[in-house]
Amino acid sequence: MSTLIENAVCTFCGCLCDDITVEVDNNRIVKTKRACANGRGLFMEYDATPRKPLIYGKEVSWEEAIAECASILENADNPLIYGLSSTSTEAQKKAVELADRLGAVIDTTSSVCHGPTALAMQTVGEATCTLGEVSHRADLLVFWGCNPAVSHMRHFSRYSLMPKGKLVPNGRKDRSMYVVDVRPTASSKVADHFIQIKPGSDYEVLTVLRVLAQGKKVDADQVGGVAIEQLQQLVDRMKGCRYGAAFMGMGLTMTRGRDINVRELFSLVSELNKFTRFSVIPMRGHSNVAGADQVMTWQTGYPFAVSFARGYPQYGPGEFTAVDLLARGEVDAALIIASDPAAHFPRGAAEYLEQIPTIVIDPEKNMTAKAARVFLPTACCGIDAPGTYYRMDNISIYARPVVASGRPRDEDVLTGIMEAMKLC
Amino acid sequence: MTKRRIRALREKFVLITGRTTKQAIGMHKGKESEAYIRAVTRVDMSDHDMDRLGINEGEDILLYTLEDSIEAPVFKGNLPEGMLFMPMGPVANRLVGVDTSGKGMPSYKGFLVEVERP
């Protein structure tokens, strides 16, 4: 007999939709309602059957696997702890504690998504709001370098474009939407206005928008392939809206300029508050990457790229970020939690993981796990484990499990490793 | 000499990598699944560039950067001339360099690649 569970939390992306209905039969999710294609994939493809850990691909007991992890990490001179974006804040806190005890470097997937956004935020601050405010108030939406129709499929319907809010009672009809990108996308198709800029020109275009917002003239006909008149129209619309919300993605952070692109957008948004109410929200990709930033900042003072090698936290983007450390071969062991750098890092960094003892804690045997010395198959938060997650607007949401699990949680495994360690 | 002649025939493009629906859905099936491998092993190119270079849809092309080279089938995409798009993943990442400009972030978007027919 199947059971219906209402208001389950989807822990795939930073939207953290908490209105999903799942149908469970024989401890397996057989149907979902309201989940997008990504959420459906997460719920339907996951098998909560307990699995044994692997050392060199061979099944071992949990005690053996945890002892091996403790031995690898204790014997390393400069271990790296990386990932954390798809696990709970409870596990993230344990990972920071472990890094502190080991004198390890700890970095999160923020470094290859919104790390530059954090750098910009530290420079110029962030005028931000919640998605609730956007859904109830925003009459102007600007999506810059992001494609939520593909990456955050329910963002438009649940939070930004479509909802009927208190001050936008007609939903879509009361809102105007701009997309700025280097190519037409599924998101630009549903926008009222699409501004196509040349690749690598975000900084220049944003700087000109700031100048125009201050009422100054620009001695040029176009910038970044866009006519100044078109940018002036956007600025006029921004200054004239009642409540504006900008959303930015990796079109800004992964391209030339990185953090200074984001800095220009954040500065523009701050300056627009002289004329109206305007906010910006980074489109966080992984389900709890915002939580990873939160926990790292509570515990260490910094959002990512932290080394405990000197006995206290040191911050070093470019120095203590995972891609740089692996590319330079500066770590001698790695503990990867809830992420898959072998699939998502440049080859020159990913390959180094095969040369050092690597431990993977993840519900799935991902590409990194396949080449790892130790793989620990844990429960998946929101499906067979509970946990606290942070939505892209930094609202915390507690994800309840929807099926029973015989698998340990990530935080249980990390606690076990710390207990098995002889040091400290 | 031969190498120099082949290099001269290569076309320069700007490559953007990013998420696609098929790549994300394929990921849930497992990164060794056919659905995922097919989803991440493809290159999108504008109509105009395909016509100009005489490349048919589904035909393999070679992409080169200083890091590595890959071979993948090309498909028509709604892109400006001179731009290619590849889904994020292990295939595209072979072309991505490890330089992060001291920020921790490699250039996954907007880097130069050279294109050649096999």
* pLDDT greater than 90 at residue B118: no
Q: In this structure, are A322 and A351 located in the same domain?
A: yes
| CATH code at position A136 | 3.40.228.10
* pLDDT greater than 80 at residue A422: no
Mean pLDDT of A345-362: 97
| Residue A42 belongs to some domain of the structure | no
pLDDT digits (tens, 9 = 90+) for A282-333: 999 999 999 999 999 999 999 999 999 999 999 999 999 999 999 999 999 9
pLDDT digits (tens, 9 = 90+) for A177-195: 999 999 999 999 999 999 9
Q: Say how many C-beta atoms besides its own lie within 10 A of residue A192's C-beta.
A: 13
| CATH code at position A66 | 3.40.50.740
Phi, psi of A420 (to 5 degrees): -80, -15
Q: Into which CATH architecture does domain B2-116 fall?
A: Beta Barrel (2.40)
Q: Look at chain A and report how many structural domains it folds into.
A: 2
Q: Which DSSP string corresponds to A52-68?
A: --EETTEE--HHHHHHH
Q: In this structure, are A150 and A199 located in the same domain?
A: yes
Q: In this structure, are A134 and A277 located in the same domain?
A: yes
Q: Which of B108, B39, B83, B86 is nearest to A113 (CA)?
A: B108
Q: In this structure, are A221 and A314 located in the same domain?
A: no
Q: In this structure, are A334 and A388 located in the same domain?
A: yes
Rounded Cα gap, residues A202 and A251, in angstroms:
9
Q: Which residues of A touch B107 (CB under 8 A)?
A: 254-256
* pLDDT greater than 90 at residue A405: no
Phi, psi of A185 (to 5 degrees): -135, 175
Output the six-digit token pair for A172. 């879509």
> What is the per-residue pLDDT for A423?
55
Beta bridge partners of A166: none
Residue B2 binned pLDDT confidence (cut-offs 50, 70, 90): very low
Q: Is B36 on the interface with A (CB under 8 A)?
A: no
Output the six-digit token pair for A51. 């699995």
Domain boundaries, chain B: 2-116
Query: Which of A94-98, A129-133, A272-276, A418-422 shows the lowest per-residue confidence on average (mean pLDDT)?
Result: A418-422
Cβ within 8 Å of residue B52, ≥6 positions away: none
Q: In this structure, are A291 and A272 located in the same domain?
A: no
Domain's final residue, options A282, A297, A312: A282
> What is the per-residue pLDDT for B113?
97
| Residue A47 belongs to some domain of the structure | no
ipTM value = 0.94
Rounded Cα gap, residues A288 and A89, in angstroms:
8
pTM above 0.90, yes or no: yes
Residue B23 binned pLDDT confidence (cut-offs 50, 70, 90): very high
Flag if B94 and A347 touch (Cβ within 8 Å).
yes
Mean of pLDDT over chain A: 97
| Residue A293 belongs to some domain of the structure | yes
Q: In this structure, are A70 and A159 located in the same domain?
A: no
* pLDDT greater than 60 at residue A245: yes
* pLDDT greater than 60 at residue B6: no
Q: In this structure, are A69 and A157 located in the same domain?
A: no
Flag if A348 and B98 touch (Cβ within 8 Å).
yes
> What is the per-residue pLDDT for B9?
62
Å between B29 CA and nearest CA of chain A:
7
Return the percentage of chain A with pLDDT > 70, whole number.
100
* pLDDT greater than 60 at residue B7: no
Q: Which of A228, A303, A212 is nearest to A264 (CA)?
A: A212
Which one of B23, B64, B94, B103 makes the best mutation probe of the A interface by having the most chain A beta carbons within 10 Å?
Answer: B103
Q: Is A182 on the interface with B (CB under 8 A)?
A: yes
Amino acid sitting at position A100: D
Domain span at A319: 52-110+287-420
pLDDT digits (tens, 9 = 90+) for B39-59: 999 999 999 999 999 999 999
Those of residues 243-272 in A touching chain B at CB distance below 8 A are 250-251, 253-256, 258-259
Q: In this structure, are A382 and A415 located in the same domain?
A: yes
Q: In this structure, are A92 and A128 located in the same domain?
A: no
Q: In this structure, are A159 and A248 located in the same domain?
A: yes
pLDDT digits (tens, 9 = 90+) for A129-152: 999 999 999 999 999 999 999 999
Domain's final residue, options A282, A308, A338: A282
Rounded Cα gap, residues A191 and B45, in angstroms:
23
Calculate the dihedral angle through the C-alpha atoms of A169, A172, A178, A179, rounding to the nearest 10 degrees.
Answer: 130
Sign of CA dihedral A382, A296, A390, A176: negative
Flag if A199 and B90 touch (Cβ within 8 Å).
no
Domain's final residue, options A217, A248, A282: A282
* pLDDT greater than 50 at residue B3: no
* pLDDT greater than 80 at residue A27: yes
Rounded Cα gap, residues A114 and A373, in angstroms:
29
Q: In this structure, are A387 and A366 located in the same domain?
A: yes
